Structure 1
Amino acid sequence: MHTWTLILLLLAVMALAYHLGMKRAITRVGGLKQINHLHSLPAYYGVYAALWAGIPALLLLGLWLGFQDHFITALVTAQLPPDLVAAQSAGQIDLILNDIKNLATGNIVSATVTPEIQAAATQFARFEELSTQAQWLAVLALALGGASFAWSRTEPQMRARNRVESVFLVIMVIFSSLAILTTLGIVLSVLFESLRFFELVSPLEFFFGTNWSPQIALRADQVGATGAFGAIPLFTGTLMVSLIAMVVAVPIGLMSAIYLSEYASRSVRAIAKPIIEVLAGIPTVVYGFFAALTVAPVIRELGAAVGLEVASESALAAGLVMGVMIIPFISSLADDVINAVPQALRDGSYALGATQSETIRLVVIPAALPGIVGGILLAVSRAIGETMIVVMAAGMAANLTANPLDSVTTVTVQIVTLLTGDQEFDSAKTLAAFALGLTLFVVTLALNVLALSIVRKYREQYE
């Protein structure tokens, strides 16, 4: 008996409750001809009954599923033979319980199956079956009981609409709170780990140091494990790649938006705009392949032709391809903002004798400037957070350089590197990823706030 089957049955009970609740409201008022005497529309009475049938049962199901495994595991653990768990550490007991669960569900076990383990697995399977049966009975009984309760309370004078809207308001508040609490949890988790990092490494060294080598020496004579955490090379690399990307994306995206919104015919716009927006749907790893296999070799060949030394992985290659990836973000946002400029502004400019190009340059673009700037800043945030293109095209060398032909790395690349493989979360090397993440979060948040403030400050002038 699968959980999804039970959920489908609950939906069927809710549909039945909806029908019965609406029918009872119509019947109690004296038929369809008298529904104007109902306090609310008949559908609200049906929704009221469906909510009583569904919400308590779904809450019970969620709680049951959340605590069922823990409760069954506790029962099985309590019945394990003492000689099986005697002198065993907590980790070893967890392995034994994992083998019991795997054996009960038919999966592969990691150790030899003893009679005690087999008996415990049989007991675990029996408990699960009993729990599932009890779950079905309790959930369906609660659903039917809620439907019956709502059906008995349905009267013409009942304020069904108010009650239904109150329930939906509570649901929306709960989900909004979950989104806020999730964001708060992410921020706090990163913040606390960052504080642990700054207890080991000075913030001055992290924010102003010029040497990034987060390898912690395990021995006094170990070579190449200096443990330097100066993040300036990461910040400069991130800034360089993002700057190159914006130099590519902003002119192309803005000019394409102006052409599509002001000059292109409907047939051209209908074809060109979706093609440009297809760029936003291409996975970033594909852009990385393109940068590493096509753009980087071309840059090396062009550099060699003019006598320049170009690294096999360069900031220029990553920035160019990242700029192409960001073009649809700027183009779409700018196109929407330009189209939102009132036609009356254009007509007034034409009436004064201005040409189309003068109207675009002196009227339309200034009117749309807040939205355009906001879109550009959001695109900058997107560029700063990009990882795959930089890994494949710019490399992972933390070089402090202003030469775009050299290999560089970014903050996001180093976060991925530090959190790859087996990690010790009491080590400065691993905790450095959280400090980098917090810094990146603050920077992107500041850019987003700046974009919103620009839009809010100037938007009213053109409405």
Structure 2
Amino acid sequence: MSTDTTGTDAATAITDSPGGAKRERLYRYLLFASASVSILVTLGIVFVLVTGALEFFGQYNPLDFFLGTEWNIDQHKLGVLPALSGTILVTVLSAMVAIPIGLAAATYLSEYASPRARSILKPALEILAGIPTVVYGYFALVYVTPFLAAFGLPVGTFNVLSASIMVGIMIIPMVSSLSEDAMSAVPDSLRQAGYGMGATKYEVSTGVVIPAAISGIFSSFILALSRAIGETMIVAVAMGQSPQLLQFAEPLANLFESNQPMTSAMITLVQAENAAGVIYQSMFAIGLTLFVVTFAMNLVSNWIAARYREEYE
């Protein structure tokens, strides 16, 4: 049996020539520089956040910041728990919207849709990811909130529920696209084995394909929720600027009232007239907290993807 080595010999000849070797080194350096840009930008952001946060904690007690239950910059009460609870609430509610709809859409695109339908529906669904988030916020404020009020829900002009619904809709494309890619990577032999045992398409989809692609699907959930945690404009426009702790005695009241997550609180700090000194530095502490939460979620996503990844030959 002969092996075609024409391509390899040609590449070796180009590399061995003086000009070719210089070009290859140049390409290598350019590609390395391009790959390093994202790392350097990330390190720069972390450095700025840590430096600003350390300066803030030098003037403000860290325990008062992380355990404080009140956020009021006029009174210099800078407890992050109200903003953190608002961020968690929006993330959970948006997940309740995005995960079932996104997974259902991914299942249809991967298992039920024809190639022609998939070529139309998937790009159309991903258009949602290209809509400016301020448009989502305006839509939530002008249309979703009155729609909820028409059903008798006691929502205020600014409320958590309408903002969370729009954040969930915004991250649907991320859930559906990444989940569909994971499901499409499952070998057809597994599907055929299920059909051979008399399973229906629904049973194969839910009992064979989804479990086989669970690592990629779960990673899409974590990445989408990380995106929801960092969302700014939707919550700034539709959710209000009144950070408050969750009311466990009346859980539904949390949905109908105004609140403020960490991202919106940072915007408020930038725009505040008295944002100077410790007030201004608190923005870096909030940003570092937000970064740590998002980074931890990404680490969990990578661990789950590596732990439960199925390898097929």
TM-score (norm 1): 0.61
Query: What is the CA-CA distance between 1:158 and the residue it aligns to?
Result: 4.5
Q: How does 1:422-461 map to 2 (within 5 A)?
A: 427-461=277-311
Q: Which residue of 1 aligns with 2:79?
A: 230
Structure 1 residue identity aligned to 2:236: V
Partners of 1:273 and 1:176 in 2: how far apart? 29
Q: Which residue of 2 aligns with 1:314?
A: 159
1:407 counterpart (251, 258, 275) = 258
1:193 counterpart (40, 47, 52) = 52
Q: Which residue of 2 aligns with 1:212?
A: 71
Q: How does 1:40-189 map to 2 (within 5 A)?
A: 40-41=13-14, 158-189=17-48
Partners of 2:84 and 2:272 in 1: how far apart? 24
Structure number with the bigger relative contact order (C-alpha 8 A, sep ≥ 6) is 2
Structure 1 residue identity aligned to 2:298: N
Q: Which residue of 2 aligns with 1:386?
A: 231
Query: What is the CA-CA distance between 1:254 and the residue it aligns to?
Result: 0.4
Q: 1:422 to 1:228 in 2, by over 3 A?
A: closer
Partners of 1:196 and 1:300 in 2: how far apart? 45
Q: Secondary structure at 1:303's aligned position in 2?
A: coil
Question: What 5-or-longer segments of structure 2 have no aligned partner?
Answer: 1-8, 248-253
Structure 1 residue identity aligned to 2:141: A
Question: 1:249, 1:326 within 8 Å by CA — same for their partners in 2?
Answer: yes
Structure 2 residue identity aligned to 1:414: A
Q: 1:171 to 1:272 in 2, by over 3 A?
A: closer
Q: Which residue of 2 aligns with 1:265?
A: 114
Q: 1:303 to 1:198 in 2, by over 3 A?
A: farther
The percent identity for this pair of structures is: 42
Query: What is the CA-CA distance between 1:449 and the residue it aligns to?
Result: 1.4
Q: How does 1:369-380 map to 2 (within 5 A)?
A: 369-380=214-225
Partners of 2:150 and 2:283 in 1: how far apart? 36
Query: What is the CA-CA distance between 1:208 and the residue it aligns to?
Result: 1.1
Give the length in aligned residue pairs.
Answer: 299
Q: What are the superposed Cα offsets for residues 208-234 of structure 1, whole Å, 9 maximum, x if unpaired? A: 11100122xxxxxxxxxx110111110
Partners of 1:429 and 1:203 in 2: how far apart? 14
Structure 2 residue identity aligned to 1:250: I
Q: Say yes or no: does 1:251 pair with 2:100.
A: yes
Q: Secondary structure at 2:244's aligned position in 1?
A: coil
Q: Secondary structure at 1:329's aligned position in 2?
A: helix
Partners of 1:160 and 1:423 in 2: how far apart? 61
Q: Which residue of 1 aligns with 2:183?
A: 338
Q: Secondary structure at 2:240's aligned position in 1?
A: coil
Structure 1 residue identity aligned to 2:202: S
Partners of 1:401 and 1:300 in 2: how far apart? 22
Q: What are the superposed Cα offsets for residues 346-375 of structure 1, whole Å, 9 maximum, x if unpaired? A: 111212222222211221011110000000
Partners of 1:200 and 1:447 in 2: how far apart? 29
Question: 1:260, 1:335 within 8 Å by CA — same for their partners in 2?
Answer: yes
Q: What are the superposed Cα offsets for residues 408-452 of structure 1, whole Å, 9 maximum, x if unpaired? A: 101000111112266765x11101110000011111111111111
Query: What is the CA-CA distance between 1:205 and the residue it aligns to?
Result: 1.0
Partners of 1:423 and 1:449 in 2: how far apart? 37
Question: 2:49, 2:288 within 8 Å by CA — same for their partners in 1?
Answer: yes
Tell me whether 254-263 or 158-167 shows the greater mean CA deviation.
158-167
Q: Which residue of 1 aligns with 2:132?
A: 283
Structure 2 residue identity aligned to 1:254: L
Partners of 1:329 and 1:273 in 2: how far apart? 11
Question: 1:211, 1:230 within 8 Å by CA — same for their partners in 2?
Answer: yes
Q: 1:160 to 1:396 in 2, by over 3 A?
A: same
Question: 2:106, 2:176 within 8 Å by CA — same for their partners in 1?
Answer: yes
Q: 1:322 to 1:368 in 2, by over 3 A?
A: same
Q: Say yes or no: does 1:416 pair with 2:267.
A: yes
Q: 1:237 to 1:424 in 2, by over 3 A?
A: closer
Question: 2:213, 2:310 within 8 Å by CA — same for their partners in 1?
Answer: no
Partners of 1:434 and 1:462 in 2: how far apart? 45
